Amino acid sequence: MEGGQIMVIVIVAMALVASIIRAGIRGPRHRFVMPDGQASAENQRLREEVQELKERIKVIERITVEKENSLAKEIESLRDR
C-alpha cells in the first residue's frame, strides 16, 4: 500500500475509535418518563389540540374551494359578455 492509503486508513480508524469513546462517555440515553396521571393529561391535551387543528384545516379547505368556485364563476361570466 502507498503512504496515502495508509494515512486514510489511520484517519478512519481514529474517527471510529473517537466515536466509540464519545458514545461510552455519554452513557446510555435515557428517555423522559412522565407519571401516569401526567402522561394521561398530556395525551388528552394533545388529542384536543389535534382535533382543533383538524377543524381549522376543514375551514381552510372550505374557504379555498369556495374561492375557486367563485373565481371560476366570475371567469365564466366575463367570457359570456
| pLDDT given at position 78 | 79
Cα dihedral sign, 64-65-71-74 = negative
Domain count, the chain: 1
pTM of the entire predicted model: 0.46
Q: What is the pLDDT of residues 5-55, one digit of tens each?
A: 888 888 999 999 998 888 877 766 666 677 777 888 889 999 999 999 999
Rg of the Cα atoms in the chain: 30
- Tell me the residue type at 16: L
Tell whether 16 is covered by a domain. yes
Tell whether 50 is covered by a domain. yes
Tell whether 8 is covered by a domain. yes
Cell reading at 17: 475509535
Is the pLDDT score of 68 beyond 70? yes
Tell whether 54 is covered by a domain. yes
Note down the domain range covering 76: 3-27+46-80
| pLDDT given at position 53 | 96
Tell whether 41 is covered by a domain. no
Tell whether 67 is covered by a domain. yes
Any idea of the CA torsion for 62, 68, 74, 75, to the nearest 10 degrees?
Answer: -170
Tell whether 34 is covered by a domain. no
Tell whether 61 is covered by a domain. yes
CB of 12 within 8 A of CB of 19? no
